[in-house]
Amino acid sequence: MPDARPGSYRVVVAEDSYLVRQGIRQVLDQEDEVEVTEYCADLGSLLRAVERDQPDVVVSDIRMPPTNTDEGIRAAAQLRDDHPEIGVVVVSQYVDPHYAIKLFERGAARRAYLLKEHVGHRNHLMGAIREVGTGGSVVDAKVVEVLVEARTRARNSPLTHLTPREREVLAGVAEGKSNAAIASTLFLTKRAVEKNINSIFSKLDLPDDTEVSRRVVASLLFLAEQTAAVD
Amino acid sequence: VVVAANRVADPEGFALLLVVNVLGFVLAGLMWRRSRPRSPFGTLLVGFGFLLGFACLAGVSQPVLFDLGVLLDAPTVLFAWWLILSFPSGRLDRVGRGLLLIGAGVVLLGFIPKLLVSPSIRGSTPLAECTLPCPANRLLISDNPDLAAFFRGVEAYGRFTVVALILATLALRFLRASRPRRRVLSPVYLVWMIWLLAFGAYGLAVQVLHASTDFTHPLGLALTGARVLLPFAFVAAIVLARAYAGAALESMVRDLTGRTSAAGLERIVRSVLDDRSAQLAFWLPRAHVFADRHGRALAPAAPDSGSSQRIFGRADGAPVVAIVHDSALDEDYELVEAVGAASMLALENERLQQDLRRAVEDLQASRKRLVTVGALERRKIERDLHDSSQQQLVAIRIQLELVREQTGPDSAIASQLAEIAEELDRALDELRAVSQGIFPPLLEEEGLASALRQAMRRAAVAVKADIQEVGRLPEEVETAIYFCCLEALQNSAKHGGEDVVVSIRLWKEPHLVRFAIVDDGVGFVLSRNHNGTGLTNMSDRLGAIGGTISIRSAPGRGTYIDGAVKVTS
């Protein structure tokens, strides 16, 4: 568990929209835990700030100058090589899991995918920063929710074999929660969560993995694909 | 008249010969005039027919008319020579004029003096032999048998000589003629040469050698037979020319199938005309000149240059093509006409095809431009939405959350703020859906497969997807297929019924990207209300980039849509 002493997370923020940047600033300004060393507005200045400040965590938009496409995802990939110890929280406007999956392409550890509109929830943003700072992973609950909903719609979907409780647990897994976290949100015992997870993974034919960052990816991929399994 | 007078040896035969000859030449002349209006030869033939009509006078008993009839013999023979020498143009060349002069000399020095000193005269054809006695010669100046025999000799040898010269000339002309010209000459020359031979031989045999009737009689029959055939030789010439032109036209049209280049067309024209110097000149409407296939302007045909030009044009009078050919072909009127018509047809066809092709290409290009501009516009709108409204709403949402934080959870305003937050979230979701629908950024960033997978995840219906990596395609192809699939998916969701399942496939074949959207929904009747905007949009999008789409559906049978777009590599 992270200690809450002042300045325990040195953070670089990259967001090209002034208004959103100000919003993030307002949230983080009130957090003693966090020391923001730089607010950047494009990929180049983000990478320079990282080299200069050696932060613990980067909070980054996806679509930024220079190309306004997937700068944030590329920055995360580059940091995986150059500074594997730095955690990355990607704040995104896209509910679709495409970018989340891309973000986790080379491992979900120290990576979080958060919807921008949820950045105002202090707990959301700070939770994500803490998680990536300590090796965990986070996927915005709404992203998972939308996926589960879409997946359940399909006739013959394997999700229909899950109990409602199991679906809730699966969502927690996909959000990157630890068993303990799932247990506390769903008011279950840790033991019950473990039982549920075993049942889910065998029903869905997924490799059982206690490692949180790995099972995030597996469950996300499972939810995002809508192919042959249906046949 | 002749039969009634019963003056000649074979009145019925003589009369029949005259009738057949007169009618034959007049009809042949009329036929020439009709099929070759510009040739004077038809008029000559008609004139000759009428002149022959007067030869019947040689069979009457009225003495003055009889003499006139006999006298007419000379111009008739000269006219006949003129005919054959001027065939087929109707104009005499220098040799022809010379021969006619000699013929006229023979008439002056032999025929006329003979008449003046012979005790009896008669028409020259074997059928006009007098039943004895022939009427006394009223033109007689002095009855001098020696002189008469001398002039008869002069006339007969002279005639024979002229006939021999004419025969030689005709033979020479035939040998020198080009193949197409020989084709024109042969029927006429054949019959006329037989007649000339018989004519010369008969004159010689009867008047000078006084050969026995055993010998002269068959000769006379040959002469008469040939004379009957004379006019029909001209008819045959026209009929043969037409038949040949028809055959040439047929072979030319056969050769012209498919697209023929200017050089190819010229080659065909040369071979059909059998004229290696033949050239085509094409009308350039803007420059208002004819130019050959190398672009050189056509010089006006000089007279006596040995080549002629004939221009062919459309029914509205606009010229299309000119054929420059050997003047010898002037008389092969039907052939050149046929070749010209076929060339014009080929060129007009080619021009129309080109116009059509150009129009289709223009249309295609403009449709492509239109959808490209449309896609650009969509992309721009999506970007604007993202950069302005979406960011502003997101910023407001963050602010709202910060405000909620400062407001205690139990304060009166907290529930109102929660409602506003919910509203704002809905607005954000909707805006996200709208901008995604306008143009998904993934399509530009990662291409068709990624964008389609994303769209399938957002679909409002159950979707089975088999989307293969097709690599990056031209922008307009990606956009067209993407929106086509989206349209199909939305159609299935909207009309397919409650439990519809949609399968979507995207795959690549050599030089082809293909996609299929199949649903098991309620289906519809294609021809009726459903050929509305959705399906039309799909074919429009695909059509604009040169792709194809096929849409099949029937009530209770679901819907099957598949499309293909050609791609290089």
Mean pLDDT of B265-291: 84
Q: Which residues of A touch B454 (CB under 8 A)?
A: 96, 98
pLDDT-based confidence at A2, cuts 50/70/90?
Answer: very low
Mean pLDDT of B244-269: 79
- Searching chain A, which residue's CA lies closest to the CA of residue B421? A117
CA torsion through residues B284, B287, B289, B291, sign: negative
pLDDT of residue A230: 35
pLDDT-based confidence at B158, cuts 50/70/90?
Answer: confident
What are the Cα distances from residue B482, in Å, to B450, B467, B478, B517, B546? 10, 12, 6, 12, 15
Q: Using CB atoms, pick whichever of A116, A154, A227 lies closest to residue B466.
A: A227
From CA B231, how far away is CA B446, in angstroms rounded?
88
CB contact under 8 A, B395 and A228: no
**Helices and strands in chain A, H and E counts:** 10, 6
pLDDT-based confidence at B74, cuts 50/70/90?
Answer: confident
CB contact under 8 A, B391 and A17: yes
CB contact under 8 A, A20 and B405: no
Digit-coded pLDDT (tens) for B402-444: 998 888 778 788 889 999 999 999 999 999 989 988 999 999 8
> Residue B63's CB: how many other CB atoms inside 10 A?
12
Q: Among A58-67, B54-63, B265-274, B456-465, name the one with the lowest average pLDDT.
A: B54-63
First vs last C-alpha separation in chain A: 44
Residues B240 and B183 sit within 8 Å (Cβ to Cβ): yes
Q: Using CB atoms, pick whichever of A23, A63, A121 lies closest to residue B395.
A: A23
From CA B419, how far away is CA B416, in angstroms rounded?
5
Q: Which residues of B touch A95 (CB under 8 A)?
A: 429, 432
pLDDT-based confidence at B485, cuts 50/70/90?
Answer: very high
Digit-coded pLDDT (tens) for A35-86: 999 999 999 999 999 999 999 999 999 999 999 999 999 999 999 999 999 9
From CA B16, how far away is CA B225, in angstroms rounded?
12
Residues B210 and B167 sit within 8 Å (Cβ to Cβ): no
Q: Which residue has the higher pLDDT, A88 or B7?
A: A88
Q: Which residues of A touch B442 (CB under 8 A)?
A: 96, 98
From CA B429, how far away is CA B51, in angstroms rounded?
108
Give percent above pLDDT 70 in chain B: 87
pTM above 0.90, yes or no: no
Q: Among A72-76, B9-13, B363-367, name the one with the lowest average pLDDT.
A: B9-13
CB contact under 8 A, B462 and A231: no
Residue with tokens 């629908």: B437
Digit-coded pLDDT (tens) for A187-206: 999 999 999 998 998 888 88
From CA B230, how far away is CA B190, in angstroms rounded?
10
Residue B133: is the preceding peptide bond cis (ω within 30°)? yes
Mean pLDDT of B201-221: 73
Query: Mean pLDDT for chain B?
Result: 81
Cβ–Cβ pairs < 8 A, chains A and B: 97
Measured in angstroms, the CA of A5 and the nearest CA of chain B are apart by: 22
Cβ neighbourhood burial of B157 (10 Å; 0-12, 13-18, 19+): middle
Residue in B14, B3, B1, B210 with CA at minimum distance from that of residue B123: B14
ipTM of the complex: 0.89
pLDDT-based confidence at B561, cuts 50/70/90?
Answer: very high
pLDDT of residue A17: 93
CB contact under 8 A, B441 and A63: yes
CB contact under 8 A, A117 and B458: no
Residue A206 sits at φ, ψ, to 5 deg, of -105, 145
Name which of A61, A96, A102, A145 to mutate to probe chain B: the one with the most chain B Cβ atoms within 10 A of its Cβ: A96
pLDDT of residue B11: 66
Q: Which residues of B touch A122 (CB under 8 A)?
A: 401, 405
Mean pLDDT of B520-548: 77
Residue B126: is the preceding peptide bond cis (ω within 30°)? no
pLDDT of residue B128: 53
pLDDT of residue B394: 94
pLDDT of residue B139: 63
Structure tokens at A36: 């923001």
Residue in B495, B490, B487 with CA at minimum distance from that of residue B555: B495
- Searching chain A, which residue's CA lies closest to the CA of residue B462? A154
- Searching chain B, which residue's CA lies closest to the CA of residue A21? B395
CA angle B332, B338, B341 (to 5 degrees): 135
Measured in angstroms, the CA of B537 and the nearest CA of chain A are apart by: 27
Name which of A93, A105, A121, A123 to mutate to probe chain B: the one with the most chain B Cβ atoms within 10 A of its Cβ: A93
CB contact under 8 A, B394 and A230: no
Residues B319 and B312 sit within 8 Å (Cβ to Cβ): yes
Query: Mean pLDDT for chain A?
Result: 88
Q: Using CB atoms, pick whichever of A20, A70, A154 lies closest to residue B398.
A: A20
Q: Which residues of A touch B465 (CB under 8 A)?
A: 226-227
Q: Using CB atoms, pick whichever of A69, A96, A116 lies closest to residue B458.
A: A96
CB contact under 8 A, A27 and B386: no
Q: Does residue A110 surpass a pLDDT of 90?
A: yes
Q: Using CB atoms, pick whichever of A116, A122, A226 lies closest to residue B463.
A: A226
Q: Which residue has the higher pLDDT, B478 or B156?
A: B478
Measured in angstroms, the CA of A101 and the nearest CA of chain B are apart by: 12
- Per DSSP (E only), the strands in B300-454 are 307-313, 319-326
Residues B249 and B258 sit within 8 Å (Cβ to Cβ): no
From CA A82, how far away is CA A65, in angstroms rounded?
21
Measured in angstroms, the CA of B321 and the nearest CA of chain A are apart by: 60
From CA A190, how far away is CA A49, in angstroms rounded?
41
From CA B194, how far away is CA B200, in angstroms rounded?
10
